[in-house]
Amino acid sequence: MPIKIEGLSYIYSPQSPLAKQALWDINLEIADGEFVGLIGHTGSGKSTLIQHLNGLIKPMQGKVVVDEFDLTDKSTNWRQLRQKVGMVFQYPEHQLFGETVYEDVAFGPKNLGISEAEIEQRVIDALKMVDLDYDSLKDRSPFELSGGQKRRIAIAGVLAMRPRILILDEPTAGLDPRGRDEILDQVKRLHTEWDLTVILVTHSMEDIARLATRLIVLEKGRVALDGTPYEVFANAEELSRMGLGVPQVTALMSELSKRGLAVKKEVMTIEDAEQEILKIWESK
């Protein structure tokens, strides 16, 4: 399901004194199987942009096409679209409602007209994907569980729809480092094992550096940078002007390069940095 966005602009409360243009002429194509990190300061338009991709916000100006669904076309089958484009909102645990974990995760598939056996299988698979134990949790109330577990149940509910595109809006917000790493690992597995196209919204470069195949940086509603993580991190100064950090090791290498050492600036991992520094060391 490739995604195509052309000339997309969006204004909240147009023709009112509170009018606020959130997106300006966005042009993007996202191919099947990409893992996109969508990055930007608070208010840069990340949430507004992704809500266009499953029709929660209708294009006001410009075009959005997701696979065969033209979202400017009023006769689009929104239900089918939303089944294919799974959206995990910020703090998704706030939307849990089921009396049991099973009921919550099964809610979406129950509306698909599939057999109870298939629904159960989907719940089992979805919980497994987020590392939660089906047998011990299925009859528990989701509200008794920890914050991290609740969030994973909410994600399982989206996965149970078997989406082809998974969009997550700041899925690690408010979690401790362990909870954050668990969720990011699971998302990574979804990309590789379920072959999903992933769009992960974050304002943390550190989170996304290791995972994404592509980074798109929004600034004030416009695409400011777009490329591989290496390409994007080569713009350390521009990123910091936008109030975005680069991974610490990238900042270090950028500084070394500025001071005249012949190291690559585009370094994201400690191992790469070690290689680069050893190269210089050994050539002396």
> Does 241 help bind ligand ADP (rule: CB under 6 A)?
no
Residue from 47, 54, 172, 250 in contact with ligand ADP (CB under 6 A): 47
92 binds ligand ADP (CB under 6 A): no
From 3, 5, 26, 44, residue interacting with ligand ADP (rule: CB under 6 A): 44
Residue 201 Cβ, how far from Mg ion at the closest point, in Å? 7
Residues 251, 9: Cα–Cα separation, whole Å: 33
Number of helices and strands in the chain (H, E): 12, 10
Output 124 or 173, the one with its CB closest to ligand ADP. 173
Asked if 54 interacts with Mg ion (CB under 5 A), we say: no
Nearer to ligand ADP, 44 or 149 (CB): 44
Instruction: Pick the piece of the chain touching ligand ADP (CB under 6 A) from 43-51, 73-81, 105-113, 189-197.
Output: 43-51
- Provide the pairing of β-strand 3-12 with 20-30: antiparallel
Residue 230 interacting with ligand ADP (CB under 6 A): no
> Please, which residue, 3 or 101, has the CB nearer to ligand ADP?
3
Inter-residue contact 221 to 45 (CB < 8 Å): yes
Report d(CA 24, CA 158) in Å as an integer. Answer: 30
20 lies in the binding site for ligand ADP (CB under 6 A): yes
If binding is defined by CB under 5 A, does position 197 make contact with Mg ion?
no
Indicate left, alpha or beta for 87 from its phi (over 0: left) and psi (-120 to 50: alpha): beta
Q: Decide if residue 44 touches Mg ion (CB under 5 A).
A: no
Q: How far is 108 from 119, CA to CA, in rounded Å? A: 9
**What does the alpha-carbon distance between residue 217 and residue 226 come to, in Å, rounded to a whole number?**
6
Among 42, 75, 146, 283, binds ligand ADP (CB under 6 A): 42
* Residue with the CB atom nearest Mg ion in the bound state: 47
Q: How are strands ordered across the β-sheet holding 214-219? A: 85-88, 165-169, 197-202, 35-40, 214-219, 222-227
- 197 touches ligand ADP (CB under 6 A): no
Nearer to ligand ADP, 160 or 242 (CB): 242
Query: Is 235 an interacting residue with respect to Mg ion (CB under 5 A)?
Result: no
Contact 226, 28 (CB under 8 A): yes
Q: How does DSSP assign 97-163, residue by residue?
A: --SSHHHHHHHHHHTTT--HHHHHHHHHHHHHHTT--HHHHTTS-GGGS-HHHHHHHHHHHHHTT--
Where on the phi/psi map is residue 250: left (φ > 0), alpha (ψ -120 to 50), or beta? alpha
Q: Which does 83 bind (CB under 5 to 8 A by kind): Mg ion, ligand ADP, none?
A: none
When asked if residue 47 is in the footprint of Mg ion (CB under 5 A), the reply is: yes
Q: Does 109 engage in binding with ligand ADP (CB under 6 A)? A: no
Q: Answer yes or no whether residue 202 interacts with ligand ADP by CB under 6 A.
A: no
One of 35, 46, 89, 233 touching ligand ADP (CB under 6 A): 46
Do 231 and 266 contact (CB within 8 A), yes or no?
Answer: yes
- Footprint of Mg ion (CB under 5 A): 46-47
- Footprint of ligand ADP (CB under 6 A): 12-13, 20, 22, 40, 42-48
